[in-house]
Amino acid sequence: MDALTFDDYMLALLLTFLAGISTSIGAVLAFFSKAKNYKILSLGLGFSAGVMIYVSFAEILVKSKAAFLQIHHNEITAELLMLLCFFVGIGLSAFIDAAIPQDVNPHEPKSNSELNVLKPHTHASHAEHTLKRTGIFTALAIGIHNFPEGFATFTASLENTTLGLSIALAIAIHNIPEGMSISLPIYYSTQSKKKAFWYATLSGLAEPIGAVIGFFILFPLMQESTLAITFGMVAGIMIYISFDELLPASRIYGNAHTTILGITLGMAIMALSLVAFKTV
């Protein structure tokens, strides 16, 4: 990684912040959840998965292997270490996911019928407390999940601005339904749009917080080996997010056709943007 300036760090943090607070968009959309068509959201989630999958395999893992190769000067050793870090990243994400109770796990996407279940006419008044509890615990769960996502966005942005922009956009789109999953139960239990909005927004702020914590832990120790390990793990985190969250959610909000169209568009735009960056 080339010498970085203060502006580089601020831009990386800004992109991570913007990706995180897209939960606010989901919070607002939840107020209008009577709409029956979620195909645009399905397309967007597929697009995010396409971006993350392509960039993980075509760019980030390549950088991890190249960094290990500079240290060990042996291609097989470098590739094995890259793969080890990759699967550690997947394992870390899976561990965090498993630690969250299933009933408040933000990675259980909501279909339209499930969204309607959260509406007040389907609940007796005594269920309001349960709804609010669900919203609050979901906000905490999403906050925990957003820590590694924030670090992934921040690290990628420092390495390559185009890469960072693409990942920030993908994370932002994937945060929209998470914002909905927080906002809906809180809104319909308290009738307060303000509370619903702020709970969703605060959960998204975990991403820049994760970026800052990761920075203070890793970057003082930043050497070629640390960079290689970080990129390998970031790729694993993003692959887990894609296959565990984005693709299942895309299928529920739309169908197989919207999902594959989104994936293809995401991969194509990511590929073209990386080629364009290299020719500048």
What does the pLDDT look like over 78-94, one tens digit per residue? 999 999 999 999 998 88
- Dihedral sign, CA of 17, 22, 27, 28? positive
Task: State the pLDDT at residue 223.
Answer: 66
The Cα–Cα gap between 57 and 239 comes to 9
Q: Is the pLDDT of residue 55 over 80?
A: yes
Q: Is residue 251 part of a domain?
A: yes
Q: Is residue 259 part of a domain?
A: yes
Q: Is residue 50 part of a domain?
A: no
The Cα–Cα gap between 215 and 52 comes to 22
What's the whole-number mean pLDDT along residues 6-34?
Answer: 83
Task: State the pLDDT at residue 117.
Answer: 44
Domain carrying residue 83: 71-279
Predicted confidence band at 75 (pLDDT cuts at 50, 70, 90)?
very high
Q: Is the pLDDT of residue 33 over 90?
A: no
Q: Is residue 92 part of a domain?
A: yes
Q: Residue positions in the annotated binding site for Zn(2+)?
A: 149, 174, 178
Predicted confidence band at 38 (pLDDT cuts at 50, 70, 90)?
low
The more confidently predicted of residues 227 and 239 is 239
Q: Is the pLDDT of residue 123 over 70?
A: no
Q: Is residue 20 part of a domain?
A: no
Q: Is residue 32 part of a domain?
A: no
Q: Residue positions in the annotated binding site for Fe(2+)?
A: 146, 149, 175, 178, 207
What is the pTM (predicted TM-score) of this model? Answer: 0.69
Q: Residue positions in the annotated binding site?
A: 146, 149, 174-175, 178, 207
* Domain count for the chain: 1
Q: Is residue 34 part of a domain?
A: no
Q: Is the pLDDT of residue 108 over 60?
A: no
Q: Is residue 106 part of a domain?
A: yes
The mean pLDDT of the chain is 77
- The 3-state secondary structure of the chain reads CCCCCHHHHHHHHHHHHHHHCCHHHHHHHHCCCCCCCCHHHHHHHHHHHHHHHHHHHHHHHHHHHHHHHHHHCCHHHHHHHHHHHHHHHHHHHHHHHHCCCHHHCCCCCCCHHHHHHCCHHHCCHHHHHHHHHHHHHHHHHHHHHHHHHHHHHHHHHHHCHHHHHHHHHHHHHHHHHHHHHHHHHHHHHHCCHHHHHHHHHHHHCHHHHHHHHHHHHHHHHCCHHHHHHHHHHHHHHHHHHHHHHHHHHHHHHCCHHHHHHHHHHHHHHHHHHHHHHHHC
